[in-house]
Amino acid sequence: MKRVLVVDDDAGIREVARLSLEVVGGWTVSLAEGGADAIEEAKLQPPDVILLDVMMPGIDGVETLQRLSHDPNTTHIPVIFLTAMAQTGERRRLEATSAVGLIAKPFDPLTLGKSIETILSGTLP
Amino acid sequence: MIPATLSPPGDEDSSARHDAEHGRAVAEERYQTLLESSPIGIFHGSFTGELVFVNRKWCEIAGRSLQRLTTPTWRSVIHPDDVELAERRLRRAFETGADFEEDFRLLTPLGEVRWVAVRSVPFSVTDERSVGRLGTMEDVSERRAAEDALQRSEELHRSVIESMTEGICVQAADGHLIESNPAARRLLGTPSGDLRDAAAVGADGTKLAKGQFPAAVALRTGRSCNDLVVGVQDPVKGRRWLTASSQPLRRGEARRPWAAVCTFSDITDQREIDRMKSDFVSVVSHEMRTPLTSIKGALGLVTSGATGELSDGAQKMMDIAANSTDRLIRLVNDMLDLARIESGQIALVRVDVNLGELLSEAVSIFCPVAEGAGIEIVVDQTNARVTVNRDGIIQTVTNLLSNAVKFSPSGSAVALAVNEHPTTDDDATIEIRVIDRGRGVPADQVDDIFVRFHQVDLSDSRDKGGTGLGLAICKSTVEQHGGRIWMEATPGGGATCVFTLPLSQPASSHKSSSGRTTDRHKRAGRS
């Protein structure tokens, strides 16, 4: 079964995403509350994909992505941003990073897994 | 040759005397006639300012009668305010023997003030008493009045321009700066007050090219260029933002402008407030989206049965909650859109596009919804080109179609019509009409309908699923493009929403060479 690491500082969103991906999507889900946790977890048990919130206290999403891609142990893991895309110009800023895709909040819990698969299939060689 | 011996010596003497007397009489008569019929005043003045002689015209100008003027002096006729100066000048002319030429005022016995131009030259004969000055006096009141009026008008206009808080500069067709006001020099931080000297950048921060300055556009196209956002570098305050507009100036019927006037004002503070407002809305929206994500997710999972079977009653309640959540999410999205558009912060990326293709794209996006409602969309063909923000105009068209479809009876059609030659606006405009056969908009609400959260019927937001922001977004987008939007009644019933867009300027149309420019211009014009 494919493994996804969901990173979000909001407990409600983490739980909804977990249920949605496990029950509807058929993924194995691990959770992280912030950037530091996520980097630790990714090194320990590299997932197949990381679903990463952007606005988080401490190390934010963009910074987390940079650290992951500079680490040879995690640089290969595809990262998808999960964003409310509310800030002006945020979309453009995120598109300039090495993330493989964006999923907008609020997402549809019934199609979240599908959305991840669609993005990943588009990035395959 | 006549021999000198023809007359006797005695006779010769008396005849010569007679001739001389006759000659003097004729000269005297001629002199008197000239003096009295002269259209200008003539005088003979003494060193003390007394007037030894004045003619009829002089008296007429001074408003005196010859009889009553027993010992006329300059002092008795000159306006009291001018007496001192005039006498000083006259005295100096006497002393230096120079020609005198001066305008001053007379005051007539009836209290009328007259401007006169006085000229005099030194005059002396052997008789000591006759030494003085001979001169002319003309009534120049009308000329002075016209000059005064012109000067007052000039002063008024100058003081208005000098005291304005908006910067003004006038640029001639050959490019040289004719004029700038203090506000222009202050706003631009340049000694010239010329926008071109201010290292200006566009709204997107890139340096403005020569041809992009408003005055250059007005001179090239012959049309006004409005509300261009320009950034300039102030040596003290740093980056300042201005909004600049330019109007071409024409003389008479001339087709080509001889100059363009460019006005600009500081909108730095306004932009800062807009930015803060936009940031505030962004943050609030973000904060709202986070809990909404959890609510939508949780409700979605529960209603889908992912968490187990629900009773019929619970399912119904959960469905209501899920639908309301979706509505709330749409509202937050629309508010965010509106805040972004209104703040004008996102420098609109505008491209020259074929309007027909753009409309087809919007229709194809919206077609599934229309088909679901059993409504046909009929779209006009056009090859007109417009320079627009693609996403903004597609959103505008789909919003208007959505509105039209919402209020149309099933089985009817909604038309998307294009009028390339509207008569209401200037010739550089194209009109797009979305025509429906629905219940129409009451005449007293056609203006309010573009106000945010306005609904014709208060139950509409519930029944029709709108947020009440769709038309406000359309209005903001259209106005940002320099167009207008309004609502009309469809003849025979229904509502027609009309919006205008400026046609692509021939120069900005990427394909048109300079040779074709006039051609396109004419075709775009009213026939």
Task: Count how many residues are written for chain B.
Answer: 527
Q: What pLDDT is stored for residue B150 in this prediction?
A: 95
**pLDDT tens-digit readout, B274-322:** 778 777 877 787 788 888 999 999 999 999 888 889 998 899 889 889 9
pLDDT (average), residues A44-61: 93
Taking the CA of residue B282 and the nearest CA in chain A, the distance in Å comes to: 5
* Closest alpha carbon to B274 in B476, B138, B507, B98: B476
Cα distances (Å, whole numbers) of residue A62 to A57, A58, A99, B113, B284? 12, 11, 9, 85, 21
Q: Helix crossing, B268-303 with B312-343: angle to 10°?
A: 160
On whether any CB of chain B is under 8 Å from the CB of A12, the answer is yes
Confidence at residue B513, expressed as pLDDT on a 0 to 100 scale: 35
Taking 60 as the threshold, does the pLDDT of residue A97 lie above it? yes
| CA atoms of B355 and B372, how far apart (whole Å) | 26
CA distance B372 to chain A (A): 22
B48 vs B526, more confident: B48
B256 DSSP assignment: S
Report which of residues B279 and B432 the model is more confident about. B432
Distance set, CA B382 to CA B246, B430, B505 (Å): 31, 11, 17
User: Above 80 in pLDDT, residue B128?
Assistant: no
Query: Cβ(B350)–Cβ(B358) under 8 Å?
Result: no
Q: Which residues of B405-422 are buried (b: 16+ CB within 10 A; e: fewer)?
A: bbbbeeebebbbbbbbee
Confidence of residue B493 (pLDDT cuts 50, 70, 90): confident
Give the count of beta carbons closer than 10 Å to the beta carbon of residue B119.
Answer: 15
> CA-CA distance, B399 to B403, in Å (whole number)?
6
B240-264 tens-digit pLDDT: 899 999 999 999 888 889 999 999 9
Distance from the A87 Cα atom to the nearest Cα atom in chain B, whole angstroms: 5
Among the partner residues A19, A84, A108, nearest to B290 by beta-carbon distance: A84
Which H, E and C letters describe B101-148, residue by residue?
EEEEEEECCCCCEEEEEEEEEEECCCCHHHCEEEEEEEECHHHHHHHH
Does the pLDDT of residue B515 top 60, yes or no?
Answer: no
Question: What's the pLDDT score for residue B519?
Answer: 32
Output the pLDDT for position B516: 32
Residue range A18-37: average pLDDT?
93
Calculate the dihedral angle through the C-alpha atoms of A20, B465, B483, B419, rounding to the nearest 10 degrees: 110
Contact (CB, 8 A) for B501 and B429: yes
Which residue from B304, B345, B346 is facing A110, i.e. has the nearest CB? Answer: B304
3-state class (DSSP) for residue B184: helix
Q: What is the pLDDT of residue A112?
A: 94
B99 has a pLDDT exceeding 90: no
| B104 in Cβ contact with B87 (< 8 Å) | no
Give residue B464's pLDDT. 59
B293 vs A105: CB contact, 8 Å cut-off? yes
**What's the CA gap between A32 and A8, in Å, rounded?**
7
Q: In what order do the strands lie in the sheet with A79-83?
A: A28-32, A3-7, A49-53, A79-83, A101-104
3-state secondary structure of B362: helix
Interface check for A89 against chain B (CB to CB < 8 A): the answer is yes
Q: Is B192 left (phi over 0), alpha (psi -120 to 50) or beta?
A: alpha
State which residue of chain A sits closest to B275, comparing Cα positions: A88
Residue A59 tokens read as 């190390």
CB contact under 8 A, A13 and B290: yes
The answer to whether B282 contacts A88, with C-beta atoms less than 8 Å apart, is: yes
The whole-angstrom distance between A43's CA and the closest CA on chain B is 28
Confidence of residue B1 (pLDDT cuts 50, 70, 90): very low
Contact A12 B294 (CB under 8 A): yes
Residues 6+ apart with CB under 8 A from B451: B472
State residue B195's pLDDT score: 81
Please give the average per-residue pLDDT across B470-478, as a whole number.
86
> Burial of B172 by CB count in 10 Å (0-12 exposed, 13-18 middle, 19+ buried)?
middle
Average per-residue pLDDT for chain B: 82
Nearest CA in chain B to A87: B282
Q: Which residue has the tokens 């030429």?
A: B101
- Phi, psi angle pair for B253, to nearest 5°: -95, 5
Among B282, B301, B304, the residue with its CB nearest the CB of A86 is B282
Cα B96 to Cα B73, B100, B117, B135, B354: the distances in Å are 21, 10, 20, 16, 83
Chain B contact for A111 (CB, 8 A cutoff): no
Beta strand pairing status for B132-139 and B113-123?
A: antiparallel
Helix and strand element counts for chain B (H, E): 14, 18
Where does the pLDDT of residue B140 fall: very low under 50, low under 70, confident under 90, or very high at 90 and above?
very high
Determine whether the interchain pair B298/A12 forms a contact, defined as Cβ–Cβ distance below 8 Å.
Answer: yes
Whether pLDDT at B517 is above 60: no
Look at B105 and B490; give whichever has higher pLDDT. B105
Rounded Cα–Cα distance for residues B29 and B37 (Å) = 12
Q: What is the mean pLDDT of residues A10-38?
A: 93
Average pLDDT over residues B335-341: 76
Secondary structure of residue B28 in the 3-state scheme: helix
> What distance lies between CA B442 and its chain's CA centroid?
36
Percent of chain B with pLDDT over 90: 25
* Cis ω before A106 (30° cut-off from 0): yes
The pLDDT of B377-402, averaged and rounded, is 88
Q: Residue B70 has what pLDDT?
A: 67
* Percent of chain B clearing pLDDT 70 (strictly above): 86
Contacts of residue A55 in chain B, CB cutoff 8 Å? 286
What lies within 8 Å, CB to CB, of B251 at 6+ separation is B258
Chain B residues with CB-CB distance to A under 8 A?
278-279, 282-283, 285-286, 289-298, 300-301, 304, 306-307, 329, 336, 340, 343, 345-346
- Please judge whether A16 and B306 are an interchain contact, meaning their C-beta atoms are less than 8 angstroms apart: no
Q: How many CB pairs under 8 A join A and B?
A: 83
| Residue from A105, A107, A112 to probe the interface with B (highest B Cβ count within 10 Å) | A105
Considering only CB atoms, B285 lies closest to which of A23, A86, A109, namely A86
Residue B520 pLDDT grade (very low, low, confident, very high; cuts 50, 70, 90): very low
By the 10 Å C-beta count (0-12 exposed, 13-18 middle, 19+ buried), B70 is classed as: exposed
Give the C-alpha separation, B351 to B522, whole Å: 22
More confident of the two residues A117 and B510: A117
Report the residue of B284, B287, B293 to disrupt the A interface, i.e. the one with the largest count of A CBs within 10 Å: B293
Are the beta carbons of A86 and B306 separated by less than 8 Å? no
pLDDT over 70 at B512, yes or no: no
User: What size, in residues, is chain A?
Assistant: 125
pLDDT tens, position by position, B438-470: 888 887 777 777 876 766 665 555 555 567 788
- Mean pLDDT, chain A, rounded, equals 90
**Is the Cβ pair B296, A108 closer than 8 Å?**
yes
Q: What's the pLDDT band for B518 if we cut at 50, 70, 90? A: very low
| C-beta atoms of B289 and A84 within 8 A | yes
B7 pLDDT higher than 60 = no
pLDDT at B2 over 50: no
Please check the confidence at residue B92 and state whether its pLDDT lies above 50.
yes
Mean pLDDT of A55-67: 92
